[in-house]
Amino acid sequence: MQELGTGYYAFGTIACILVIIGMWGVFKKAGQKGWYAIIPFLNVYILCKVALKENVVLFTILSIIVSPVLIYVYIKLARSFGKGTGYGVLTFFLPFILLPALAFSGASYGEAQ
């Protein structure tokens, strides 16, 4: 059996770091503590809290179990920063690019479309 090269591990590590940096920035823009992004499960709870503002516990549990629910959470997150549905869907597939972009863009929290 052939092992994966170190490039895959490096990409995965860099992608995880970029997601954490992006979540940290998004949480800070939304008035939450940025370090919540580094704690597993708490980061999903805060993401749901920022994006949905209601039914947070239910959506946190569901988004950990069911991926389409997380797509919905990302769509709501994108809309709460003034972005469209497409941005939210793409964030599900490319969080290591679009979360940092959202965190460091000029968009501010509460610019619902």
* pLDDT of amino acid 25: 95
**Which residues, in sequence order, are CB contacts of 56 under 8 Å at separation 6+?**
45, 48, 49
* pLDDT of amino acid 68: 86
10-residue averages of pLDDT along the chain (113 residues): 71 92 95 94 90 83 84 93 94 95 90 60
- The CB-based long-range contact list for 24-32 (8 Å cut-off, 24+ gap) reads 24/103, 25/99, 25/100, 25/102, 25/103, 25/104, 26/50, 26/77, 26/81, 26/99, 26/102, 26/103, 28/103, 29/81, 29/103, 29/107, 29/108, 29/109, 30/80, 30/109, 31/109
Hey, what are 96's tokens? 């290591």
